[in-house]
């Protein structure tokens, strides 16, 4: 815990890493509402494959923290059925790669049911787990699913970056009466951030569907989600030394996309670069660019909007290759300078 002075007021800041933020959010929501429960592989007695659910089984027991066999399609379906019948499940996929085994249940059973039933059957479920690239886990364990799930009506899709995002969005997701796809990032789990007392209040939620401007700037807008937000902020620091002030927008939510915040920023800066870890084709950046083209912000663009993305290949294993498969800070800086014609 750290105490700082902000505008002559003493504010306590607590260092909380993303993992603990997620853990605390789940703990508080489990306590708040008896209908909330967690199921997934290794979530109970193992304390979670990535320790996100550490301590929860000890506190809440077998009824509310359920270890499943390695049968994603089955347990995702069970989770959705439990939501049909009035419970509020949190269904963990050990990584989102394994959700492909169960994707039919997420899309056809969860996302579409409220619509097909004309409002008779809500589905209050959260699917969560680490998404996107990690370190050295190779092609089958490194895919980003933001674009795939972000494509589908009936889902809310969120992608937190820091601890405040993780805590607030997970609480919002659990309290939401609709299916939420919660895309975490393994490499962010151990990263600490300072949280104020306000953020640590039990009813603190980050509204789904609202982006956050993490850094104000005037020359160019960087729009990103998840771990890449940090890279954008790092790139912005470097660029600031050369007199380029970047505005960094943290999407927080993939679907619904906060187009208003993006447009307001682009209309201010006249330049746009999107940054994501996923592949370029039909991706999050592609959607943002299309929306900007179709809306009022287009007339304010002084250059074409461009995307910085993961390289369009399956993820390789060797470190040097892996490092060159994901967007690096230098790629962001390079793209900014290109767009600004520097």
> Of these, 1, 2, 3, 86, which contacts other proteins (CB under 8 A)?
86
Determine if 115 is a binding residue for other proteins (CB under 8 A).
Answer: yes
Instruction: Say if residues 286 and 223 touch (Cβ distance below 8 Å).
Output: no
* Annotated catalytic residue 141: yes
- Stretch of residues binding other proteins (CB under 8 A), selected from 49-57, 100-108, 213-221, 301-309: 100-108
> Of these, 13, 122, 300, 301, which contacts other proteins (CB under 8 A)?
122
> Of these, 33, 177, 197, 323, which contacts other proteins (CB under 8 A)?
177
* 3-class secondary structure, 37: strand
> Of these, 40, 77, 132, 160, which contacts other proteins (CB under 8 A)?
77
Cα 206 to chain centroid distance, Å, stands at 12
Determine if 267 is a binding residue for other proteins (CB under 8 A).
Answer: no
Gap between the Cα atoms of 132 and 134, Å rounded:
7
Nearest approach, Cβ of residue 115 and other proteins (Å): 5
Determine if 231 is a binding residue for other proteins (CB under 8 A).
Answer: no
Q: Which of 72, 92, 247, 322 is catalytic?
A: 72
Instruction: Say if residues 163 and 24 touch (Cβ distance below 8 Å).
Output: no
* Annotated catalytic residue 72: yes
Q: Which of 42, 141, 151, 245 is catalytic?
A: 141
Gap between the Cα atoms of 63 and 57, Å rounded:
9
Nearer to other proteins by Cβ, of 256 and 316: the residue is 256
Determine if 299 is a binding residue for other proteins (CB under 8 A).
Answer: no
Q: In the β-sheet with 220-224, what is the strand arrangement from edge to edge?
A: 212-215, 246-250, 220-224, 272-275, 306-308
Print burial letters for 21-36: b (CB count within 10 Å at least 16), e (below 16).
bbbbbbbbbbeeeeeb
Nearer to other proteins by Cβ, of 135 and 293: the residue is 293
Print burial letters for 104-127: b (CB count within 10 Å at least 16), e (below 16).
ebbbebbbbbbeeeeeeebbbbbb
Gap between the Cα atoms of 90 and 186, Å rounded:
18
> Of these, 32, 42, 108, 191, which contacts other proteins (CB under 8 A)?
108
Residues 125-144 that bind other proteins (CB under 8 A): none
Any idea which residues carry the catalytic annotation?
A: 72, 141
- Residues interacting with other proteins, by CB under 8 A? 37, 63, 66, 68-69, 71, 73-87, 89, 104-105, 108-109, 113-124, 153-154, 156, 177-178, 209, 256, 294-295
């Amino acid at each position: 815990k750290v105490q700082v002075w902000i505008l002559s007021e003493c504010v306590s800041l607590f260092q909380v890493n993303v993992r603990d933020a997620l853990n605390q959010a789940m703990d508080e929501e489990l306590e708040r509402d008896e209908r909330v429960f967690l199921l997934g592989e290794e979530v109970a007695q193992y304390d979670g494959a990535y320790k996100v659910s550490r301590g929860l089984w000890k506190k809440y027991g077998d009824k509310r923290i359920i270890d499943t066999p390695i049968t994603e399609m089955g347990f995702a379906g069970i989770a959705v059925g439990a939501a049909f019948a009035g419970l509020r499940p949190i269904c963990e996929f050990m990584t989102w790669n394994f959700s492909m085994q169960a994707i039919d249940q997420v899309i056809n059973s969860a996302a579409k049911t409220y619509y097909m039933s004309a409002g008779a059957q809500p589905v209050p479920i959260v699917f969560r787990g680490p998404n996107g690239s990690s370190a050295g886990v190779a092609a089958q364990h490194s895919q980003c699913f933001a674009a795939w799930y972000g494509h589908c009506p009936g889902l809310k899709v969120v992608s937190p970056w820091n601890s405040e995002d993780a805590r607030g969005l997970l609480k919002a997701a659990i309290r939401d009466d609709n299916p939420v796809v919660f895309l975490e990032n393994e490499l962010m789990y151990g990263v600490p951030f300072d949280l104020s007392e306000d953020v640590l209040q039990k009813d603190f939620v980050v509204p789904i569907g609202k982006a956050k401007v993490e850094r104000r700037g005037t020359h160019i807008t960087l729009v990103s989600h998840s771990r890449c937000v940090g890279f954008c902020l790092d790139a912005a620091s470097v660029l600031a030394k050369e007199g380029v002030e970047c505005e960094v927008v943290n999407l927080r939510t993939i679907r619904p996309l906060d187009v208003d915040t993006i447009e307001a920023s682009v209309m201010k800066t006249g330049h746009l670069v999107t940054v994501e870890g996923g592949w370029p084709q039909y991706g999050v950046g592609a959607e943002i660019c299309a929306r900007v083209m179709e809306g009022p912000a287009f007339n304010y663009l002084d250059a074409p909007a461009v995307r910085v993305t993961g390289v369009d290949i399956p993820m390789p294993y060797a470190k040097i290759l892996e490092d060159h498969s994901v967007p690096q800070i230098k790629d962001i800086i390079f793209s900014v300078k290109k767009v600004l014609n520097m």
